[in-house]
Amino acid sequence: MKRTGMIKIIALAFFLTPFFASPSTLWADYPERSIIFIMPWPAGGGTDISLRPLVQAASRNLDQQIPIEYHPGGGTAVGMGLLKNKKADGFAIGMASINGLINQHTRKVPYDFLKDFTFILQYAEYTYGLAVMADSPWKTLQEFVEYAKTNPGKIRFSSAGPDSPQAMVMALLANNNRIEWTHIPFEGGPPALTALMGRHVEAYTTTMHVKPHIQAGRLRLLCAYGEKRLPSFPDVPTLKELGFDIVAPSFMVILAPKGLAAEKEEKLHQAFKKAMEDPEFLKACGMVDHMPLYRNSQDTIKQMQYFNKLVGGIIGQMKSPKK
C-alpha cells in the first residue's frame, strides 16, 4: 500500500508540474521553433533594407530562425491587421511605422494601434525629404513652391502611401500656403520612386532609400523634413530652416500581438536590443539614412501616446485650411 501510494503521489506531482512551475522555467527554451516576422512594407524598400540585417542579427541572438513574411498594403494596415490576429505566443512578431498610427486617424483600419499590440522596443527613425529629377527646373524648395502656386494642379507628387508622414507634410504645405498639387500614392517606396524616375510625376516625397540616386546625380533633394539636416546631405536645408514650421513624425518599432507574456517579451527585447549593435544593421541604416534610436518598451509606449496626440492635432489642422 505504501509503495502504491508513493507511486500515485509521484504521478500526481509530475502531472501538476506544468501548472505550478514558474513561467520562466516553462519558457526557458523559448523560442523552441522559428518565429514569423510580419513585414507590412514591400521587399526592397528603405524599411526592408535596414530591417533585414536587424532581424538576422536577432535570429542569431535567439539561436532560432526568423523568416520575414511580406504583407504590404493599405499603408501597412494589411500587415498590422494580420499581426493583431496572430496568437500572442511569441512566435509572431512584426514591425510598425508612423504610417500605422496615421492610418487610424484617417480611415477605418482592422486594429487599434495603442491597444492591440505589445511594444517590444523602438529601433530607428526614418528621415524624409522632397526629391525631384536632377534636370528639373527647380533648384530650391522656394522655386518649387512658387511654381506650384502659380500653376495650380500642375505638380504631381508620389509617395509611399496615402497616409504616410511624407504625404502628410505635403498636405500641410499645401494647406498652409494655398497650394494645389496632386498626390499619387503607391504601396511602398520602390513604385513611388519608379514613378518619378519615369517622369510620371514631378516630385517624390520620400524616405532616404533614394540616397544612391541623389549621390549619383540623377535626383535632387530640395529639403529635409526633420529637426536637423541629414548627415549625408548637410547642405540641404530643413523645412523649418526655410520658414515652414513642419517636422515629420517618425518611428520604427518591433511589436507583437497584445498579451505577450512578460518573459517572452523580455527575451525578444534583449535579442533585438543587442541586434541594434550589429555592424550590418548600422551599415544598412547608413545606406538609407535611418537613424538608429533605442527606446525600451515603456518609453516606446509613451512615445506612441505622444505621437498619437500629435498626429491627431495635425489631421485637425489639415481639416481647417488657412485662408
CATH code for position 305: 3.40.190.150
Q: Per the domain annotation, does 311 fall within a domain?
A: yes
Q: How far apart are CA 153 and CA 159, in angstroms?
A: 17
Higher model confidence: residue 134 or residue 164? 134
Query: What is the pLDDT at residue 25?
Result: 44
Residues 66-100: tens digit of each pLDDT: 999 999 988 899 999 999 999 999 999 999 999 89
Residues 168-190: tens digit of each pLDDT: 899 989 988 999 999 999 988 88
User: Are both 74 and 151 inside the same structural domain?
Assistant: no
User: Are both 117 and 141 inside the same structural domain?
Assistant: no
- State the pTM of this model: 0.79
Residue 9 in this model has a pLDDT that exceeds 80: no
| Cα-trace Rg, the chain | 23
Question: How many domains, the chain?
Answer: 2
User: Are both 146 and 81 inside the same structural domain?
Assistant: no
Q: Do residues 322 and 176 make contact, with C-beta atoms less than 8 angstroms apart?
A: yes
Residues 264-279: tens digit of each pLDDT: 999 999 999 999 999 9
Q: List the grid coordinates of 220.
A: 535632387
Q: How far apart are CA 261 and CA 258, in angstroms?
A: 9
| CATH number of the domain residue 185 falls in | 3.40.190.10
Residues 220-270: tens digit of each pLDDT: 999 999 988 998 999 999 999 999 988 888 999 999 999 999 999 999 999
Query: What is the pLDDT at residue 2?
Result: 53
Q: What is the mean pLDDT of residues 14-22?
A: 49
Q: What is the mean pLDDT of residues 8-21?
A: 49
Q: What is the mean pLDDT of residues 127-141?
A: 97
Q: How far apart are CA 49 and CA 7, in angstroms?
A: 59
Query: What is the pLDDT at residue 92?
Result: 98
Query: What is the pLDDT at residue 26?
Result: 46
Find the domain containing 218 and state its range.
Answer: 128-224
Q: How far apart are CA 163 and CA 234, in angstroms?
A: 28
Residue entry with cell 524648395:
141
Nearest C-alpha neighbor of 54 from the set 243, 317, 305, 254: 254
Mean pLDDT of the chain: 89
Confidence of residue 5 (pLDDT cuts 50, 70, 90): low
